């Protein structure tokens, strides 16, 4: 009896293998694109203002509404043009990046810290504590966060701290919900039960046996919330109730250019594109972190 050894089947269309290889390499490159772009924004926010000689709030009516690439009277070039009062748009975009990064980072850290404390308490203690905290969370979820931020920002003098507080009042809710749901699952694990039996204190259990497992999901949510906070700050500044005129913001620059959309489109277009790109890339980065967390949880 003879044994027949099957021969490997060659793909009659090798272009499919080539296309698959190109798609794989392209997908790998696109996967790191959000991280690269966000890293560039961070670098610009830190180093950019040190390299720009222009004062972003200094006005020069003789050079107002100059288009991108114009050479000014002092010999300098307005890379992105000037606005209605002669301020350099490029300088405003760079300084606006620093403002957005500061507000976004400070607000998400506050929201994540407070939200984790509330969610950890509600999920671990349960009972009346969980009921009260959950009802507070439900009320804030039902109330639009941007409306609450507008009310708070409108009641106080415009400033950086006021904007951070206004955006934090509702931003912590998402972190609290996520932390509570995760804590409800983690507190039933064997190592937590063993810690209770051994007489480990409640604070130690929460800090050493539960909190470390909340880092991954919170980090994914943190990236997603960062984009929403930056967008919220721009909205407040656009409405004129966010930052003072002395602090450069993308929202203020966009608002200043809305009267010149038909004649000087660049005033609103460039900061608007910078804002949109940052929000999109941070959102994609958050999706990637969330996908990695979900795959890790599945294993």
Q: Per the structure block, which two tokens stand in for 257?
A: 């250019």
- pLDDT score recorded for residue 6: 55
% the chain with pLDDT above 90: 38
Look at residue 3 and tell me whether its pLDDT is greater than 50. Answer: yes
- pLDDT score recorded for residue 82: 92
Structure confidence at residue 12 as a pLDDT band (50, 70, 90)? low
Look at residue 9 and tell me whether its pLDDT is greater than 80. Answer: no
In the predicted model, what is the mean pLDDT of the chain? 84
Tens digit of each residue's pLDDT (9 = 90 or more) over 98-126: 999 999 999 999 999 999 999 999 998 88
State pTM to two decimals.
Answer: 0.82
Q: Say if residues 89 and 253 touch (Cβ distance below 8 Å).
A: yes
Structure confidence at residue 20 as a pLDDT band (50, 70, 90)? very low
Specify the fold of 35-52+77-298: MetI-like fold (1.10.3720)
Residue 58 has φ and ψ, to the nearest 5°, of -75, 130
% the chain with pLDDT above 70: 88
Nearest to 180, CA basis, from 134, 212, 112: 134
The helix or strand, by DSSP H or E, that contains position 8, with its residue range, turns out to be none
Structure confidence at residue 176 as a pLDDT band (50, 70, 90)? very high
Q: Say if residues 182 and 293 touch (Cβ distance below 8 Å).
A: no
First to last CA, the chain: 46
Give the residue, 29 or 225, on which the prediction is more confident: 225
Look at residue 266 and tell me whether its pLDDT is greater than 80. Answer: yes
Tens digit of each residue's pLDDT (9 = 90 or more) over 136-152: 988 888 888 888 888 88
Q: Say if residues 241 and 150 touch (Cβ distance below 8 Å).
A: yes
Structure confidence at residue 10 as a pLDDT band (50, 70, 90)? low
- pLDDT score recorded for residue 92: 93
| Mean pLDDT, residues 262-285 | 93
Look at residue 127 and tell me whether its pLDDT is greater than 90. Answer: no
- pLDDT score recorded for residue 45: 93
89-125 helix and 250-257 helix, angle to the nearest 10 degrees: 130
- pLDDT score recorded for residue 24: 46
Structure confidence at residue 195 as a pLDDT band (50, 70, 90)? confident
């Amino acid at each position: 009896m003879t044994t027949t050894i099957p021969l490997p089947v060659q793909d009659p269309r090798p272009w499919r293998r080539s296309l698959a290889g190109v798609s794989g390499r392209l997908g790998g490159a696109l996967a790191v694109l959000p991280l690269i772009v966000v890293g560039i924004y961070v670098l610009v926010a830190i180093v950019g203002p040190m390299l720009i000689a222009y004062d972003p709030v200094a006005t020069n009516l003789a050079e107002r509404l100059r288009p991108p690439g114009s050479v000014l009277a002092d010999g300098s070039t307005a890379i992105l043009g000037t606005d209605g009062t002669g301020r350099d748009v490029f300088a405003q975009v760079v300084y606006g990046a620093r403002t957005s990064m500061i507000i976004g980072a400070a607000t998400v850290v506050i929201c994540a810290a407070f939200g984790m404390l509330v969610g950890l308490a509600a999920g671990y203690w349960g009972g009346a504590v969980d009921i009260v905290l959950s009802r507070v969370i439900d009320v804030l979820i039902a109330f639009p966060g941007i409306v609450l931020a507008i009310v708070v920002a409108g009641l106080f003098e415009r400033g950086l701290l006021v904007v951070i507080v206004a955006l934090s009042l509702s931003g912590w809710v998402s972190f609290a919900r996520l932390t509570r749901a995760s804590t409800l699952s983690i507190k039933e694990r064997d190592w937590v039960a063993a810690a209770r039996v051994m007489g480990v204190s409640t604070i130690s259990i929460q800090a050493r046996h539960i909190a470390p497992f909340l880092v991954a999901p919170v980090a994914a949510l943190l990236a997603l919330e960062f984009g929403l906070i930056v967008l919220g700050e721009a909205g407040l500044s656009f409405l004129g109730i966010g930052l003072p005129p002395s602090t450069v913001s993308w929202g203020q620059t966009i608002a200043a250019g809305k009267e010149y959309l038909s004649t000087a489109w660049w005033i609103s277009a460039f900061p608007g594109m910078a804002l949109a790109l940052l929000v999109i890339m941070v959102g994609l980065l958050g999706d990637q972190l969330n996908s990695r967390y979900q795959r890790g949880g599945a294993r």
